[in-house]
Amino acid sequence: MNIPWWKKAVFYEIYVPSFCDGNGDGIGDFIGIISKLDYLKELGVDGIWLTPFYRSPKVDNGYDISDYYAIDEDYGTMEDFERFISEAHKRDIKVIADLVLNHTSSEHPWFQEAKSSKDSPKRDWYIWKDPVDGHAPNNWESFFGGSAWEYDEKTGQYYYHAFAKSQVDLNWKNEEVKKAMFSVMDFWLQKGVDGFRLDVINFLKTSDHFPDNPINEKGEQDHVFDKDQVGILETIAEICSFVRKTPGKFLVGEVGSEDLTVLKQYSGGPLLDVVFNFNLGSIKEFDGKRIFSELKRMEEAYTSDQIPTLFFSSHDMSRHISRFSKGKNEVKIAKLISVLMMTAKGIPFIYYGDEIGITDLYFDHVKKMRDVQGLTAYQLAKKVGKGEEEAIRIANEEGRDKSRSPMQWNDSEYAGFSDVEPWLPVSNHSTNVEKQKGDPHSLLSHYQKLIHLRKRFPALHAGQYKLLEEKDNVICYIRERNGEQILIVLNFSAKKVPFPIGKFASNSSTVLVSEIERTIRNGQSIQLEPYESLVIQI
């Protein structure tokens, strides 16, 4: 049976403005990405996920699109993009484009026309409601904070925005909207993209009746009526059917939930190929028992045509190296997590810079921040009387700039990113590509070796779990395919832990990955070092 290319693939997320600056203006671009394709090929990457590169005022750094058919000038030209696609494909690297179907920028010509008059032909392309007793139509809150409704003085109605007020939700109940967005997808498929990452895809529909959302015992709003609504799966199936008219395309969805019972509804069969498993990827603490429980739950919950995703960092969250290590044992923990991502059952997504150990940025002043989510959190904190220090702490916690700092190519002032100051500060000069390249013990070399092993052994990219268990904060599993068996042992403990290795492996087994020299004996137990990981062919 042929295995779809994406089931074998290792994906690499590129946050476009932060990856590589090719023209010296301090902002990453397609010329820069092209110059680093050989680096990605050497790393072993099979697919690139590009964050939005369309024309945008960038209130939300490109997730507010003002022209779906144009490349933003900061990132280059359409010719640059076409050359990038061609050069990536020459290296057998697929390209997945991030696409925002849920909302447009308030500067998009569609919305400008829609808000010109209640009688505008495009008025119904967005969601408009009359005031209720002089206030917003209901209590729905934006996911960035504050009301999800913005009043328009000219027409006397509110428009709906699930995120920033400059990100206006499209009305997917309108067939013209659906047709327009299908045309957008077709345009980029014709340009050669190999699929899409669909942003906040479970937000495409809201309740028809717009009731208030309930407030939970913590005093926080439960988003019951503004996402995951009746009919959403049918709409997603239509999108998938349209994209799959072109064979071999890959569809990954961002479903805004950490609830596995919600996430699993969106993939398999006629739906998305995979969704991002935030139930695993968003875990805040370095906790082997919790990680194991999510691996186990996914294995039990997913049907035969479903497969999870494996990631712990992205442009929307703290880098897992900072989140898990708290500044201690960073490299050891990073190596352990990389083994999990490359050997567990699922599709791995590396976030740019994780392969060299980039850590989070911390901002000491609000003027240095760019992210709308962090800035909104700061403003709301100040509004309720928080002091400056506390408001900055909240902004750092809620903001997403922390994981978007420039890729660190060398140890120069701006890490080789640009000849001028980049759009965000460099996170950490002590780790970079130039320093780690060629060092067999570096994190970068570790990633390269693991990706190579994942390709070499079908059990690691297509195998089932023969065993999946956890004891004393040690996760142990065996991946098996057609008689090939690979044992993986992960010690999440900061202590040495005894492990009965001889119960699973023998003296004829081959150690594929180990930070220290290991000899396996039948029936033998070993002492696992703190944060040690082992990959063994048995």
Residues 185 and 280 in one domain: yes
- Shared-domain flag, residues 516 and 533: yes
Residue 6 has pLDDT above 80, yes or no: yes
Whether residues 157 and 190 share a domain: the answer is no
| 390 flagged as catalytic | no
Residue 198 lies in a domain: yes
Last residue within a domain, chosen from 127, 153, 169: 169
DSSP H or E stretch at residue 50: strand 47-50
pLDDT in the model for residue 116: 98
Please tell me the distance from the alpha carbon of residue 136 to that of residue 151, in angstroms, as a whole number: 8
Whole-number pLDDT of residue 101: 98
- The SS3 call for residue 453 is helix
**Nearest alpha-carbon partner for 339 in 447, 219, 222, 452:** 447
Whether residues 266 and 130 fall in one domain: no
pLDDT at 523: 82
- Checking if the pLDDT of 379 tops 80, the result is yes
pLDDT at 242 over 70: yes
* Residue 434 pLDDT level (bands cut at 50, 70, 90): very high
Q: Do 154 and 228 fall within a single domain? A: no
Our count of domains for the chain comes to 3
The pLDDT mean for the chain works out to: 96
Does residue 420 have a pLDDT over 90? Answer: no
**427 membership: H or E segment, kind and range:** none
| Domain identity same for 95 and 144 | no
- In a domain? residue 318: yes
Assigned domain for 381 exists: no
Give tens-digit pLDDT for 10-60.
999 999 999 999 999 999 999 999 999 999 999 999 999 999 999 999 999
Assigned domain for 394 exists: no
Q: Mean pLDDT throughout 446-473?
A: 97
Q: How confident is the model at residue 521 (pLDDT cuts 50, 70, 90)?
A: confident
Rounded mean pLDDT, 160-164: 96
Judge if 93 and 117 occupy the same domain: no
Percent of the chain topping pLDDT 90: 95
Q: Which of 150, 169, 188 is the last residue of a domain?
A: 169
Residue 526 lies inside a defined structural domain of this protein: yes
The count of other CB atoms within 10 Å of the CB of residue 484 is: 15
Residue 429 has pLDDT above 90, yes or no: no
List, for residues 268-279, the tens digit of each pLDDT value. Answer: 999 999 999 999
**Would you place residue 229 in the very low, low, confident or very high pLDDT band (cuts 50, 70, 90)?**
very high
Per the annotation, the verdict on 199 as an active-site residue is yes
The CATH number of residue 137's host domain is 3.90.400.10
Rounded-to-integer distance, Cα 351 and Cα 373, Å:
20
Burial class (CB in 10 A: 0-12, 13-18, 19+), 41: middle
Quick one: 291 and 220 in the same domain?
yes
Contact 512, 535 (CB under 8 A): yes
Pair (134, 280) in one structural domain:
no
Q: Do 519 and 439 fall within a single domain?
A: no
**The pLDDT value given to residue 465:** 98
Residue 342 has pLDDT above 80, yes or no: yes
CATH number of the domain where residue 472 is located: 2.60.40.1180
- pLDDT at residue 1 tops 70: no
Same domain, 208 and 302: yes
In the block, tokens 């999800």 appear at 148
At 280-296, the pLDDT tens digits run 999 999 999 999 999 99
Residue 249 and residue 187: Cα distance in Å, rounded? Answer: 14
Do 84 and 195 share a domain, yes or no?
A: yes
Specify the pLDDT at position 189: 98
Catalytic residue among 29, 199, 371, 532: 199
Which one from 29, 194, 254, 398 is the annotated catalytic residue? 254
Q: What angle do CA 135, 138, 143 make, to 5 degrees?
A: 110
Per-position DSSP letters for 334-367, written without gaps between them = HHHHHHHHHHSSSEEEEETTTTTT------SSGG
Q: Which of 169, 187, 218 is the C-terminal boundary of a domain?
A: 169
Name which of 163, 187, 160 is nearest 63 in CA terms. 163
In a domain, 382, yes or no: no
pLDDT value for 87: 98
Asked whether residue 391 is domain-assigned, the answer is: no
Q: What's the CATH number where 82 sits? A: 3.20.20.80
Task: Please tell me the pTM assigned to this model.
Answer: 0.96
Question: Is the separation of the CB atoms in 81 and 191 below 8 Å?
Answer: yes
Q: E strands of 93-189, at which residues?
A: 94-99, 103-105, 128-129, 149-152, 157-160, 167-169
User: Is residue 385 domain-resident?
Assistant: no
Q: What is the pLDDT of residue 145?
A: 87
pLDDT band at 502 (very low <50, low <70, confident <90, very high): very high
Name the pLDDT band for 504 (thresholds 50, 70, 90). Answer: very high
Structural domain including 249 reads: 5-102+175-361+426-450
